[in-house]
Structure 1
Amino acid sequence: MVTKAKEKTGRWWSTAAAGAGVIALCYGFARYAYGPFVPRFSATFGLTPVSVGVLGGLSTAGYGLGLLVSPKTSARSARGTVLLAGAAATAGLALMALAPNVAVFGAGIVIAGGSAGLVSPGVAQVIGETVGRRVRARAQTWANTGTGLGLAASAFTPLLVFGWPAIWATFAVLGGVLTLIAWRALPRTEPAEVVTGSARGVLPLVLNSVLIGVTSAPYWTFSSSRLTESGLSPAAATWCWFAIGVAGLLGGSAGRVAERIGLRPTNLATWTLAAAGIVLLALPDPGLPAALVSSALFGVTYLALTGLCILWASRVFPARPARGVTWSFLGLGAGQTAASPLAGAAASAIGLAAVFGLTGLVALLAWTQLHPRAAPPSAGRAPGGS
């Protein structure tokens, strides 16, 4: 047992790195890279704003389907679920690159979006099964920073002179490479036990996740527009997107901090920084320095908060982390889906600056977690589901 524990502790970094690579593929390339390329897609397929919205909705639909499927596939094989996610991302990106028409392009978006729904629960389950308890929190949050890595890697690709199909084909090739690396590096897992029990304790987790979705959606959707209307150039906006990704890599340290001071204090401190970063875009003239600080704060806190959700989910469902992550990320997706159109409508009425000011205030609702019933469970206490 001692030898096994040492093995679990010693190899956590390779498991986390392989998981981060597939997460970078599924989120950074297959899901989030769509937005910056909308003008190019529109020119190729003659898309109207409504069509662009429909295609974005297809990505969200695929994401939701992946989340719903992932607990069952993760129970059969957590490692297989991660590899399936990588294969889906690669196939979706390739289909988009080769699409002769918008219908095939849309099918590729659904498949690529589904990969993002599969990967986070799968990676969480792999780490939960194969990494020692002492370093598990660090492994979970560092793996989750793969999203930031993918965002940083794809940030400047819209500025390349190559046509978008060539860029998307390159993404697909990288996807194949990352999936192969994961196949070689991820430890093999056994089918998980069938776990029954109540979902007691999951509601605070879901509410926290919904709040992440509600407060992040305006930033993902309208931050570039806000920077443009304040006078910054498209190149400056690209640097801000890059800052989100690079700073997001620091979000992996949230697991270590949570080990030292506790999950609730870490979560609340991160929420406070997130509110500060969002509010910076409410300034009348943020300028490039404030915009970069805002982007960096958003990147690090978004990745930290989603990583902390994975730790929270693992405490609610210690034997089946994938189930808890699915609940959490469904809440996040629901919050984003509801908040994007609401933020757009509010922007038409009161302006984007006011929208970001209000969003920052909404983020402070996280301080209701000072109440024990809204707080995450402490280490070693599983409220249910195990």
Structure 2
Amino acid sequence: MDTRRSGPPTAQSVHRSWWTVAMLGGAVIALCYGFARYAYGLFVPRFSETFDLDPVAVGALSAASTVGYVVGLLVAPAASAHSARATTVVAGSCATIGLAVMAVAPGVVSFASGIVVAGAGAGLASPGVAQLIVETVRRDARTRAQTWANTGTGAGLALTAFTPLLPVGWRPIWLGFAVLAAISTAVAAWSLPRAARSEPATGPPAAGSRPRPALLLPLLLNSALLGAVSAPYWTFSISRVGEAGLSPAVATWSWCAIGLVGLAGGTAGRAVERYGLRATGLAIWTTWSAGIALLALPAPGPVGAMISAGVFGAGFMALTGLCILWGARLFPAAPSQGVTWSFLALGIGQTAGSSLAGTTAGLLGLGPTFALTGLLALVAWTQMHPRLAPPARADVDELMPTPPAAAPVTRSAAGPARAQENDR
């Protein structure tokens, strides 16, 4: 991690081209999620053979990743308030170390420790990158930068999709992941811009500036629903493709499509700027539910499976990007806090969704499970009710607690993305 201190950055270094910051932040997110968190599921059979794992142990190791992820999320707001840039670099470093430890682990205990460290990197990454974008990207481009950086997960998924087919053991592959993660982290440490010290602090807001539950609860419900709806697809989509009589090659290409088409989720930022957060979100939720329900067809075929995977990937990346924008709207001076709250709720929803989907699949089968999941996604239309919708900026101002009279009220440079979008 670069700890060198230098003079105040110039305006040019602070207001870096939004796509540069989005690309660098997206690279860190790609390695933290695509490599260090989600690639685990692709190699479970090999891990089980190496360490003699039964299904209970496999589940416990997956839970260890979640524990690390939650710890990273909880630490992220305070770390990002101190230095969003350093938090982003530390996230990449955790992913690198975790992957390397997993690659050389002689036993299951050391392997599990690597999983925890790698999971912590994923927890730090999204809040750190979200805060960094607010500090270093001009206001009118932050919405696009946030959503495009978030699609780094899709790039990571695409890069790892075919690695199980390589004619080598899993340890060399994992070492390769660690090397790529180290390179990406080093580039980020060298190239990520610093915020100007003359700007107002962007740390955690004072107690009087935190949103009331009336504003925060709808975000948490939306995020939990997103987690619950996405979990069955992450867990059972490949099994459903095989059950429908499709080849392993189709399953591999489907996983790749989740990542590659998921990059299109970055366009959600432009849509939010034009149509607003609620209208964009509901359109994506509706399309997403249809894509998920495609796997409920008795014979979706290769084309249906690929379309379903692509729609799922693009929808998931877009909707998680909208969660970041929603959280940043509620915590304009410290968006890392909004991302932490949102992603914690998403994780809770995924945990509950996985368990519920497993029970439903055991009772009804995978086809009906995906049909019910698609229907569940339509619950998002409750956001037509004003109390469950993403708030307009005027609503935030009205419902926020009034700061103490003695405390001067100042406007932070890390305000919402743009005035036009805030009015929607």
Fold shared per TM-score above 0.5? yes
Task: Say whether 1:35 aligns with 2:47.
Answer: no
Larger-gyration structure (1/2):
2
Aligned with residue 374 of structure 2, among 316, 338, 360:
360
Query: Which residue of 252, 256, 270 corresponds with 2:266?
Result: 252
Contact 2:65 / 2:119 at 8 angstroms: preserved in 1? Answer: yes
Q: Percent identity between the aligned chains?
A: 59
Distance 2:138 2:44 in 1: 43
Q: Distance in 2 between matches of 1:6 and 1:279?
A: 47
Q: In structure 1, list runs of 5 or more residues that go unmatched.
A: none
Deviation at 1:281, TM superposition (A): 0.5
1:312 matched to 2:312? The reply is: no
1:77 pairs with 2:87 = no
TM-score of the aligned structures, taking structure 2 as reference length: 0.88
CA contact (8 A) 2:22 2:148 kept: yes
What does residue 154 of structure 2 align with? 148
Letter in 1 for 2:153: T
The Cα of 1:380 is off from its aligned counterpart by 6.6
Aligned to 2:353: 339
Cα distance in 1 between the residues matched to 2:307 and 2:35: 24
Does 1:241 find its partner at 2:255? yes
Matched-pair contact (CA < 8 Å) for 1:5–1:132 = no
- The residue type paired with residue 65 of structure 1 is V
Question: What is the CA–CA distance in structure 2 between the aligned matches of 1:222 and 1:308, rounded to whole Å?
Answer: 25
Question: 2:202 aligns to what?
Answer: 192
- Report the counterpart of residue 376 of structure 1 in structure 2: 390
Q: How does 1:29-108 map to 2 (within 5 A)?
A: 29-108=35-114
**Residues 322-362 of structure 1: per-residue CA shift (max 9 Å, x gap):** 00000000000000011111111110000011110001000
Supply the distance in 2 between the matched residues of 1:384 and 1:42 (Cα, whole angstroms).
51
How far apart, CA to CA, are the structure 2 residues paired with 1:268 and 1:279? 17
Partner of residue 340 from structure 2, selected from 311, 326, 338: 326
User: Which amino acid letter does the alignment assign opposite residue 363 of structure 1?
Assistant: A
Distance in 2 (CA, whole Å) between partners of 1:6 and 1:135 is: 15
Deviations 1:269-293 (A, max 9, x none): 0000110011001001111100000
Partner of 2:407: none
**Do the aligned residues in 1 keep the contact of 2:98 with 2:115 (CA within 8 Å)?**
yes
Alignment of 1:212-251 (within 5 A): 212-251=226-265
- Residue from 124, 142, 145 that aligns with 1:118: 124
Q: CA deviation at 1:113?
A: 0.7
Q: Which letter does structure 1 place at the counterpart of 2:184?
A: L
Q: Which of residues 286, 295, 309 in structure 2 aligns to 1:295?
A: 309
Give the Cα–Cα distance (whole angstroms) in 2 for the partners of residues 175 and 380 of structure 1: 42
- Partner SS state of residue 187, structure 1: coil
CA distance in 1, matches of 2:344, 2:205: 20
Q: Summarize deviations over 1:300-343 as a string: whole Å, max 9, x none.
A: 00000000111101100000000000000000000001111111
Counterpart in the other structure of 1:262: 276
Deviation sequence 1:204-250 (CA, Å, 0-9, x none): 11110001000000000000011111111111100000000001101
Task: Please report the RMSD computed on the Cα atoms of aligned residues, expressed in angstroms.
Answer: 1.6
Q: 1:275 to 1:4 in 2, by over 3 A?
A: farther
Give the match for residue 349 of structure 1.
Answer: 363
Letter in 2 for 1:213: G
Q: Distance in 2 between matches of 1:156 and 1:36?
A: 9
Q: What amino acid maps onto 1:196 in structure 2?
A: A
Q: What is the one-letter code of the residue matched to 2:163? A: T
> Structure 1 stretch 197-206 or stretch 311-320: which is displaced more?
197-206
The question of whether the paired residues in 2 share the 8 Å contact of 1:213 and 1:339 is answered with yes
Equivalent pair of 1:26/1:85 in contact (CA under 8 Å): yes
1:210 and 1:333 in contact (8 A); partners too:
yes
Opposite residue 276 of structure 1, the aligned amino acid is A
Q: For 1:100, what is the secondary structure of its paired residue?
A: coil
Q: For the residues of structure 2 that align with 1:134 and 1:4, how far apart are their CA atoms?
A: 19
Give the Cα–Cα distance (whole angstroms) in 1 for the partners of residues 295 and 394 of structure 2. 39
> Which amino acid counterpart does residue 151 of structure 2 have in structure 1?
T
